[in-house]
Chains A and B, each alone.
Chain A
Amino acid sequence: MRAAIAVAATVWFFGASFGLLARAAGMGVLAPLVLSSTTFAGSAQFAVSSILGVGGGTFAAITAAVLLNTRYAPISISVARLFHGPRLRRLLESQLIVDESWALSSRGAGRYDRRLLLGAGVVLYAAWVSGTAVGVLAGDALGDPKSLGLDGAFPALFLALLVPQLRAPRALLAALVGGAIALVLIPLTPPGTPIVAASAACLLGLRRGDA
């Protein structure tokens, strides 16, 4: 649980960053808070605010965010055995699944600790939503966050989320291919489209062999 609190501090900062960036992207005050409360997934939310911020369009923002969060299907399947009771209770508890709580609760060999998953999930959820609130409101006090150069924080945020996922050689290769696809398409397609097209690199997963 101590690890969860340390992670929560980082998550709080990311939440505040999201609030600021969402304001800069013209999402207003309430919409970023609702997004943090319902989505509770950093990379997808940053994708939404960055795509809307550059005028990338509704479809591109939704597609990129939903594709980014598609990983929660297999992640939630991996911990499905930890959830019991009525369907509504399972639905609510499952919303505490997030990359960090899932990673913290891993006991290796496909086993997970229910107490850690939900306990860390609650702490991280509170940190994420309260961080977002502070970011959104601080954005109000500071004026236009774009004038502070905060939109430049996006690549660093995504990189921080990406690096821990590159341990497997296949993930590294797929990430490089996906990045290359996006790079080629940036000048040729509307914003958002390169991100969606890059997901074709996931088909590398169809190859058998080592992860």
Chain B
Amino acid sequence: MSAVWLVVLVVGAATVALKATGPVLLGNRELPEPVARVVALLGPVLLSALVVTQTVGGDNELVLDARLAGSARVRSRSRPERPCPRWSSSPRSPPPSRDSFSEPRPVPGVHSMVFDRPQSRWFSAEVSLA
């Protein structure tokens, strides 16, 4: 079985079971109050983490490297966890590089900066995220 199908089947089965928890298994029993409070925070916390990882991970992995170098340009995009309405229309907070919606992304020059520094501890992390 491929990794994709393993994920699809396990996640599907787990979600079916989670949604059935109340109606099928528990009936009218309630979760202990502290547990219910912890579980109630899972939604906002995990979504926030996803916003962060999708904003500065992946394509924007170089932000981390540039931030460490103290780049003034990157400072303006270094608050990914702050909900900022502007992001709704422009998901990657910096202005999109040219033609990002019409043709394959050009490899920005900043890539070469990372690869010029293979001794950096960030190097392996950047590659694994790319």
| The 3 nearest A-B residue pairs measured at CB | A179-B81, A38-B12, A76-B22
User: What mask results when residues 40 to 82 of chain A are scored 1 for a CB within 8 Å of chain B, else 0?
Assistant: 1101101110101011011001101111111111111111111
A171 contacts B41, C-beta separation under 8 Å? yes
Tell yes or no: A133 within 8 A of B by CB: no
Residues of B within 8 A of A149 (CB): 96, 100-101, 105
Interface members, chain B 9-66 (any A CB < 8 Å): 9-16, 18-24, 26-31, 34, 36-59, 64
Q: What are 18 A-B interface contacts by the 8 Å CB criterion?
A: A31-B8, A37-B12, A44-B15, A62-B7, A67-B42, A73-B18, A147-B103, A152-B96, A155-B87, A156-B88, A158-B51, A160-B88, A166-B83, A187-B122, A191-B129, A194-B52, A201-B45, A206-B37
B48 contacts A28, C-beta separation under 8 Å? no
B58 contacts A72, C-beta separation under 8 Å? no
Q: How far is the CB of A209 from chain B (nearest CB, A)?
A: 10
Tell yes or no: B107 within 8 A of A by CB: no
Task: Report which B residues bind A (CB closer than 8 A).
Answer: 3-16, 18-24, 26-31, 34, 36-59, 64, 80-81, 83, 87-92, 96, 100-101, 103-105, 122, 125-126, 128-130
Residues of B within 8 A of A160 (CB): 88
Contact of A74 among B16, B36, B87, B130 (CB under 8 A): B36
B5 and chain A: residue at smallest CB distance: A31
B7 contacts A61, C-beta separation under 8 Å? yes
A69-B18, A159-B51, A206-B37 are contacts. A93–B7 as well, Cβ < 8 Å? no
Residues of A within 8 A of B26 (CB): 77, 80
B4 contacts A50, C-beta separation under 8 Å? no
Q: How far is the CB of A51 from chain B (nearest CB, A)?
A: 9
B39 contacts A195, C-beta separation under 8 Å? no
A159 contacts B14, C-beta separation under 8 Å? no
Q: How far is the CB of B23 from chain A (nearest CB, A)?
A: 4
Most chain B CB inside 10 Å of its own CB: which residue of A26, A76, A172, A181: A76
Q: Report the Cα distance A135→B41, complex, angstroms.
A: 31
A195-B50, A198-B46 are contacts. A79–B104 as well, Cβ < 8 Å? no
Q: How far is the CB of B39 from chain A (nearest CB, A)?
A: 5
Residues of B within 8 A of A129 (CB): none
Task: Report which A residues bind B (CB closer than 8 A).
Answer: 26-28, 31, 34-35, 37-41, 43-44, 46-48, 50, 52, 54-55, 57-58, 61-62, 64-83, 87, 90-91, 93-95, 97, 99, 146-149, 151-156, 158-163, 165-166, 170-172, 174-183, 186-188, 190-191, 194-195, 198-199, 201-206, 211
A77-B30, A201-B41, A203-B38 are contacts. A163–B48 as well, Cβ < 8 Å? no
Q: How far is the CB of B68 from chain A (nearest CB, A)?
A: 9
A182 contacts B53, C-beta separation under 8 Å? yes
Residues of B within 8 A of A181 (CB): 49
A155 contacts B46, C-beta separation under 8 Å? no
B52 contacts A186, C-beta separation under 8 Å? yes
Residues of B within 8 A of A38 (CB): 8, 11-13, 15-16
